[in-house]
Chain A
């Protein structure tokens, strides 16, 4: 079967660094996405990994290990506006079908 596992909730302090882990089991693999979703709003694209390694984009970085079925999203210099849900979504056999986890709700405190 297909399964995505990420922590339900995390709390961190403004200015700190937080790492949100995601493990996945999919039938086939065609890349992994991270999306950010503020309450009541649309998910917005953060990152895409298809090869092993780290992709850095400003304060956000995403890592992938295909052999371990593992990814993480690293958020640096946390800001209050980073309080949101973070969705891990690998793409399986299909070139378009994303398999979403339940998301990790991150709370950034002053």
Chain B
């Protein structure tokens, strides 16, 4: 596997379900991100982790709970979601948060989530 992978690619869940999204990066990066992409809206940054420590929570509702056990893996635990949470959830990674130069973010293919 190369780059950033995400599983599952598609997920349908009811409002009372609990599910988890998984992200894994094979780039040796230290920073990982969760984004939400809703139809016709800009990507919204949700959470940022650097060296396994959360550095950003962008006012995300508590029904979304991130977990970063190590620099290569990032999870997003979901519970009691609402239909408006249906979106594409993208994971990204970068070398770290503070290197100069571009320090571009590499994105995974996303999980298409539908909440019924």
- A residues near B (Cβ < 8 Å) are 4, 31, 33, 35, 40-45, 48, 50, 87, 89, 95-103
Given the interface contacts A45-B104, A102-B40, does A97 sit within 8 Å of B109 by beta carbon?
no
Q: Does B34 contact A (CB under 8 A)?
A: no
Q: Mark B100-113, 1 if CB is under 8 A from A, else 0.
A: 00111111111010
Residue of A nearest to B10 (CB): A40
Distance A98 CA – B35 CA, assembled complex (angstroms) = 11
Q: How many A-B residue pairs have CB under 8 A?
A: 53
A residues in contact with B103, CB < 8 Å: 95-96
Distance A35 CA – B90 CA, assembled complex (angstroms) = 14
- B residues near A (Cβ < 8 Å) are 4, 31, 40-43, 45, 48, 56, 90, 94, 97-99, 102-110, 112
A residues in contact with B42, CB < 8 Å: 4, 99-103
Residue of B nearest to A43 (CB): B107
Q: Which of A43, A48, A102: most chain B CB closer than 10 A?
A: A43
Distance A48 CA – B94 CA, assembled complex (angstroms) = 14
Distance A50 CA – B105 CA, assembled complex (angstroms) = 16
B residues in contact with A50, CB < 8 Å: 102
A residues in contact with B109, CB < 8 Å: 40-42
Residue of A nearest to B95 (CB): A96
Distance A31 CA – B97 CA, assembled complex (angstroms) = 14
Given the interface contacts A43-B107, A100-B42, A102-B40, does A48 sit within 8 Å of B98 by beta carbon?
no
Q: Is the CB of B97 within 8 A of A42?
A: no
Nearest CB on B from A59, distance (A): 19
Nearest CB on A from B22, distance (A): 15
Q: Is the CB of B110 within 8 A of A87?
A: no
Q: List 18 A-B contacts (CB under 8 A).
A: A4-B42, A31-B102, A35-B107, A40-B110, A40-B112, A41-B109, A42-B4, A42-B90, A42-B107, A43-B107, A44-B107, A45-B104, A50-B102, A95-B99, A95-B103, A96-B103, A97-B56, A101-B42
Q: Is the CB of A98 within 8 A of B45?
A: yes
